[in-house]
Structure 1
Amino acid sequence: MIYVNGRFLKQNITGVQRFAIELLYSLSKIRGDIVILVPNKEKILKLHNLENFKVIEVKGGDGIIWEQITLPRYLHSVGNPLLLNLCNTSPVFYKNKISTVHDITFLKYPQSYSWKFRAVYRIMIPMILRTSHKIITVSEFSKIDICNYYNIPRDSINVIYNAVSDQFYDKKLNQSEKKGYALAVSSPNLHKNFGPMIEAFQKANINLDLKIIGSMSGTFKSHNYEIKTKNINFVGRVNDEELINLYQYAEFFIFPSLYEGFGIPPLEAQACGCPVLSSNTASLPEVLGNSAHYFNPNSIDDMTNSIKEIYNNKDLKDHLIESGHINLKRFDWNISANKMNLIIQEVLGV
């Protein structure tokens, strides 16, 4: 049996949780021995389809207490099997494990996180790196970043890319069917860079609304963006069906992040036929290649100019849509799952 740390199943979906669940779906097509361990079955988010998995409830606390104490205690009681951890953390003193560290944003942009979060990760991550059989990350950029910061050899980390789930590949729309808005997916974290992006969009002064998916954070509220201009529209949290619809009908998608270990939303936009404007930093050039129109996320003027350029250029939009579809062929959850399976087999010695 391969046991999985299922703590993430009660968390809201971000790229980290998306990586975990999609990889497990594809891994379940290869292996029939996956068992997911959770602290409380009733708290699993309803959107997760776990019909193909055996899920075992291991009672005894929640959160980090469950992960660091209850989970390893249970594993010891069943013979210390291999534990697969897909969402940055793992029981630090349990050694028969594979762990995933997506990035080190908490070190590069500490302002994005609470002091408590940073303190826990500063202690846990180096211990996880030392006590895991294998470490997984999601891009060559993150691999180099982690290795350089912690001074560990590059061959100690394996790269497994994210991909896009099948549901995002939907009908292709013509540009004439678009509905007159630009789209972005928000986060209150500072490194996501949404304040400057909103300022750049306002400065561009184009005849489009900007729809921002995600909760309206305190950062946005403090700037009072909705009062300043009527064309900034905070959509709130949406489900995947609503997200796909928003991607499909957007004129273009903006991804202004200062730091990403991977960055799934631009690929989701490309799968839905939406041209992508992207920051030129961190892992994004690796993930997007020549399929995005890049800007400097530290320059509001550069973001403004990029928004103006794509707004007025149908040929550029068509080119980005086509190159986006080509770019997507590089990423596939089945390929990623096969890579993970080879790593599991190597650890198991089979």
Structure 2
Amino acid sequence: MGVVINGRFLTQQLTGVQRFAFELSKRLILINRSIKLLTPNVPLNESYSELSTDYVVKQGYLNGQFWEQLYLPLASRNKLLLNLANTAPLFKRYQIVTVHDLAFLRYPECFSASFAKWYSFLIPRIVKNSLRVLTVSHFSREEIVNFLGVSPERITVIYNAVSEKFFYDPCVEKENIVLAVGSLDPRKNLLRLIDAFKKLNLHDYTLFIVGQQSKIFRNSKLEALIRNLSNVKITGYLTDEELVKLYQRAKLFIYPSVYEGFGLPPLEAMACGTPVIVSNVASLPEVCGDAAYYINPFSVDDIANGIRCVLEDDVLQKELISKGLKRVKRFTWENSVKKLVSVIEELGY
């Protein structure tokens, strides 16, 4: 039996979950060049152009969930199927499943009704039937144990890491930018962030929100809220190259999310030499350690106070930058793929 990867994520836009799948897949292939990514027979997202098509096998006449549930089990028969992007076939025993978080259970009101119902049906079943479960933090591991009843011994934590594209350039001059990055998902808590920013009357600063609305999330109503705010901008989706430049220019990065399985943007900001403010909940303290300023995400006043404290304290900014650059070195894709290889070998593949 060999190993194949569920490559459905290659048809999707490159965001947090897909980045985890992509970075591990391309490194796993370098270790074992017999491994292939199975994908629907449709064009792949251009974000993955650096992946050689020699390792991609397009098959079938279906797409999306139908391809994953109906065709992929047949295409991967007699193989170990590696699923790195949350979803997986229901009727496949020999597989590894990755669950990034349980937001669909913990905050179902943030998602469309159809998405929340589908995930609530799918995830518990694929987790139960899989040989091993992967997740991205010890926080998420505890969530899976407590809410899905999975034995801790069946769960392996494999951290996210930061792409080498995100780097610190001391020659780039900081600008009066407060930056937030993430999908326009109610769970990201952007409404409270905007209220906090308005409360501070920072007329010399611009709040940039990088992200876009997805059909899986309930409407966050952000567009209506900022319609008359000239210093709040929603950029939409940015490429990595565009995002790096914005991280480097920002004087402050803030991530007030109320629930995360990992939370990659704070590490990206640290890698680019930007002071970071994050919520004091979920996985974020585990990920950010002592390299971030923590706020209560449920308090507009506390969010505003955090922004003000960091912006007004040059010494604190330098301290957070220094600690952030050190912190991000703890997370590498090389270490993560080694853990993944160990899991595969433990299963006898």
TM-score scaled by structure 1?
0.94
1:214 has 2:211 as partner: yes
Gaps of 5+ in 1: none
| Structure 1 range deviating more: 47-56 or 15-24 | 47-56
1:48-101, CA deviations, whole angstroms, 9 ceiling, x for partnerless residues?
02117511111121111111111112223xxx1111000111111111111101
The CA RMSD measured in Å over matched residues stands at 1.5
Taking the aligned partners of 2:53 and 2:238, their CA distance within structure 1 comes to: 25
The answer to whether structure 1 residue 88 and structure 2 residue 65 are counterparts is no
SS of corresponding position for 2:220: helix
Kindly tell me: are residues 61 and 266 of structure 1, through their superposed partners in 2, closer, same or farther at Cα, counting changes over 3 Å? same
Secondary structure at 2:326 match in 1:
helix
Q: 2:159 and 2:260 mapped to 1: Cα distance?
A: 13
Query: Given the alignment of the two structures, is residue 246 of structure 1 paired with residue 246 of structure 2, yes or no?
Result: yes
> How does 1:134-173 map onto structure 2 within 5 Å?
134-173=132-171
Matched residues in 2 for 1:329 and 1:289: separation? 12
SS in 1 for 2:193: helix
Match for 1:205 among 201, 205, 210? 201
Q: Give 1:198's aligned amino acid.
A: I
Q: Tell me, in whole angstroms, the C-alpha distance in 1 between the residues paired with 2:76 and 2:26.
A: 23
Q: TM-score, normalised by structure 2?
A: 0.94
- Conservation of the 8 A alpha-carbon contact between 1:186 and 1:194: no
Asked if 1:37 is matched to 2:38, the reply is yes
Partner residue, 2:11: 10
Moved over 6 A (4+): none
**Bigger Cα displacement from structure 2, 312-321 vs 186-195:** 186-195
CA distance in 2, matches of 1:110, 1:342: 34
Alignment of 1:22-33 (within 5 A): 22-33=23-34
What is the alpha-carbon distance in structure 2 between the residues aligned to residue 248 and residue 186 of structure 1?
A: 17
Paired with 1:134 and 1:304, the residues of 2 have a C-alpha distance of: 42
Say how many residue pairs are matched.
Answer: 342
Task: Say whether the 8 Å CA contact 2:128–2:150 is kept in structure 1.
Answer: no
Whole-angstrom CA distance in 1 between matches of 2:76 and 2:210? 39
For 1:277, what is the secondary structure of its paired residue? strand
Aligned residue in 1 for 2:266: 266
Residue 346, structure 1, aligned to residue 346, structure 2: yes
Deviation of 1:170 after TM superposition, in Å, equals 4.1
Q: Which blocks of at least 5 consecutive residues in structure 2 are unaligned?
A: none
- 2:65 is aligned to 64
Q: Distance in 2 between matches of 1:295 and 1:92?
A: 40
Residue-by-residue CA offset, 1:254-312 (whole Å, 9 max, x unaligned): 10100000000000000000110111110000000000000000000000100111111
Give the 3-state SS of the residue equivalent to 2:227 in structure 1: helix
**1:29 offset after TM fit, Å?**
2.8
Q: Counterpart amino acid of 2:73?
A: P
Q: Deviations over 1:148-176 (max 9, x none)?
A: 012222111000000001111242347xx
